[in-house]
Amino acid sequence: MRFLKFLSLALTLFGCRDPLLSQASGELLVEPGRLNFGRAWVGLRSTQGLDLQNTSRQALEVSLSVGAPFDVVRSVRIAGGERVAVVLGVVPLRSGALGDTLLVSWNGNTREVPVEADAESPPPCPERDCRTFTFDPGTANCLETVLADGAGCGASNQCLTGGTCRAGTCVGQARDCNDADACTTDACDVATGCVHDAVACPGSDNPCEVPLCTATGGCGLTPALDGASCGSNDCVTAHVCITGQCVTRAAPDGSQCAAPTVCRGTGLCRAQVCEKPAPTPLQPRWRYTPEPGHDVVFLGHVDEQGNLYATETWTGPAQARATDPAPRAAIPGAASDVAGVPRQRPPDGPVAAILSLTPSGVVRFREPVVFGCSACAWGLGFSVDSAGHRLFFNALGQTQARSTDDGRLLWKVDATAGLPALDVRADGGAVFSTSPPLLVGDDVVGVPVLEGEDDHHSYVQGFDRATGVARWQFHRKGHLYGAGVAASGELWTSSANCWAVAGEMVRLAPLTGLPRAQKFVEWIPSLYGDDFALGTASGALHRLDGALDLHSLSTLTTASAGASMLVTGPQLVLWDAPVRALHSVNLTSGVTAFTFHGVTGTAPDFELLRNGGVAWTSPSTDGGVLGAVDGRGEELLQCPILTSVDSPTALVRGRAYLQAEGSLVGFEVPGLDVAPHGWVSRGGSLARGGRAR
């Protein structure tokens, strides 16, 4: 009877045995039955654990084997009843799916365990002085280590000498680039070192005086050579300089009737006809073409030194940045990518970076700045603070401040934080949208924000440029129209309720955001000067003065009401598209400086020049055109470009930059430079955050 009870108990225990133990031949339990590493990084070792449990009373000698790039210990001894953890590793050599079978053998038994991994190339970590960054495969982050004080630094900064680390910052002496030559502007480029650009000396109202520069005395004027052209030469009558005065003479055969340009030779009179050589296509001095899968967008942003700022986008892993400070918390109901769903950064998706190039086309930095922003493929609207070495932009509801030296993050804030949700959706959320930041005063960046879907409210959030701390908030019901910054630093804008006539005009104090003047003006400004604004009202040109009084300018010009306006100092330049004419008119006297009808191309984009003239770039049927006239309306150049023009043109110190067929290109245009003052392009001065210079 006792034997039968024992046999019954044994059968019961055997019947309740774990099936995995049965698969392990009653001696070795292997868990898990499949190993998946998930994401593994090329060149870096990732590991997974495997548990081996000896279910017998006797010690087992277990051998293990797996094919490369996986690795594991060859053998392990496991005592009776002991549980041992074995580490399986993988070091991928290339991207792609990996798979093999781990063989676990003991006492003539073999267990097969499938192993797999998805290998990816790790994203690059930043390189910065006084900090080292190492990629951590476990968190997919770049981990930062601050170097000890006193460590050497600055090898990549050609503008710093004797650099040593101090509290994570490279400190040293600024390179002295003074060449003691008054005819050069001395600057330093981080990548190339000292840069000495020739000074563009101002001309004279007397065409028979030419700029002169000496190393010790700087800019001056000297009489032009006798016989030099001082005006038009129609090959019958020529305007020439004689003893410093412009006089008319009979045009001799072979005299110059058209000055040479960068793309065309000198025009000469032959039998009283001006024979001009055919222009040759303007060749790029340099070209930046993004790598496959990347797209670049240039919207004309430059700084005072001529460095370019563009947006480069691609699809890739949304790598977290250990160096980026966390954004301020968003308020409930803040903007979302999908109605009612708070923003979440996806594990993979669109990546947008700031790309900066030197005037000679050398990459200064390419810094990823936002992840998961599909709209960023259209380009980030930067505001460049050249003096403060900062640029600002909005993306996914946040305003970021970045260094123009290396693209590092200085601060970021939720531009909608603290704003009330006055037009609440049925689901309790709200819709906020932001416009590009504006540089207000000397130390404030203003971010226009629109709230609501049906009943709108507009705000301008004023943040400290250095810290991102909120300084002030301006609110109007409805929409803001024509918001811009005058050269004085004041923010001017018109506002009106939805579907109402614009509007209430207001000037805001830069430090407080409080109105300095406000008045109802049925008018929307187009551009700003020192302390005035220009625009159209009732089909005519008007000027708004500092007291917000409107004055008609219809007596100054016969240009149509649809003319685009540019302004520099007292001179108003208009593009009269219906008749394809450029007009330059003095705002005070009404005297017309020139009218030019020779603009070619389909949709010209203009910039004002230092000499009072205008440069333009325009698409054409076979590419594009780069042209310019001086302050007298005389053609300086009109050069064909073989590639399609896809962006505004930035003109700085004898170089023109634009986007053409997906690449950034730079052209040499000697003698041309953007005007130092005024509203120098349709968007103001892109080197001054869209404000008048």
pLDDT at 525 over 70: yes
Which of 542, 497, 489 has the alpha carbon at shortest distance from 689? Answer: 489
The three state secondary structure string of 289-308 is CCCCCCEEEEEEEECCCCCE
- What pTM does this model have? 0.66
pLDDT at 348 over 60: no
Distance CA 384, CA 392 (A): 7
Q: What is the pLDDT of residue 560?
A: 56
Do 555 and 589 touch, CB atoms closer than 8 A?
Answer: no
Higher pLDDT, 425 or 485: 485
Q: Is residue 26 very low, low, confident or very high in pLDDT (cuts 50, 70, 90)?
A: low
Q: What percentage of residues in the chain have a pLDDT greater than 90?
A: 30
Do 393 and 400 touch, CB atoms closer than 8 A?
Answer: yes
Question: Mean of the pLDDT values across residues 360-367?
Answer: 89
Do 391 and 402 touch, CB atoms closer than 8 A?
Answer: yes
Tens digit of each residue's pLDDT (9 = 90 or more) over 155-191? 888 888 999 999 888 899 988 999 999 998 888 887 7
Q: What is the pLDDT of residue 687?
A: 59
Q: What is the pLDDT of residue 222?
A: 92
Q: What is the pLDDT of residue 317?
A: 56
Q: What is the pLDDT of residue 498?
A: 75
Interstrand relation of 75-78 and 131-136 (parallel, antiparallel or unpaired) = unpaired
Which of 323, 299, 327 has the alpha carbon at shortest distance from 311? Answer: 299
Question: Mean of the pLDDT values across residues 478-493?
Answer: 87
Higher pLDDT, 268 or 565: 268
Higher pLDDT, 2 or 193: 193
Question: Mean of the pLDDT values across residues 207-229?
Answer: 89
Q: What is the pLDDT of residue 353?
A: 93
- The Cα angle at residue 672 between residues 667 and 676, in degrees rounded to 5: 120
Question: Mean of the pLDDT values across residues 439-467?
Answer: 89
Strand ranges for 55-206 from DSSP E: 60-65, 70-71, 75-78, 83-90, 96-106, 109-120, 131-136, 141-146, 160-166, 169-174, 184-189, 193-198
| 558-693: in CATH 2.60.40.10 | no
Helix (H) or strand (E) holding 177: none
Q: Would you state the structure tokens that stand for residue 260, as one six-digit string?
A: 């040479």
Query: 541: how many CB neighbours lie within 10 A of its CB?
Result: 24
Domain covering 17-120 in this structure, CATH number = 2.60.40.10
Q: What is the pLDDT of residue 16?
A: 39
Mean pLDDT of the chain: 83
Tell me the residue type at 149.
D
pLDDT at 3 over 50: no
Q: What is the pLDDT of residue 344?
A: 39
Lowest mean pLDDT of 123-132, 140-149, 370-379, name the range: 123-132
Q: What is the CA radius of gyration of the chain?
A: 35
Tens digit of each residue's pLDDT (9 = 90 or more) over 626-681? 999 888 888 888 899 888 887 778 888 888 898 888 899 999 988 888 888 888 88
Do 213 and 219 touch, CB atoms closer than 8 A?
Answer: yes
pLDDT at 428 over 90: no
Tens digit of each residue's pLDDT (9 = 90 or more) over 495-508? 888 766 667 889 99
Half-sphere exposure of 190 (CA within 13 A, CB side): 18
Tens digit of each residue's pLDDT (9 = 90 or more) over 232-262? 888 999 998 999 999 999 988 988 888 888 8
Lowest mean pLDDT of 13-27, 103-117, 249-263, 398-412, name the range: 13-27
Using alpha carbons, list the distances in angstroms from residue 592 to 431, 436, 554. 48, 35, 13
Tens digit of each residue's pLDDT (9 = 90 or more) over 565-597? 787 777 888 888 778 888 888 888 878 888 888
**Domain residue ranges in the chain:** 17-120, 226-275, 558-693
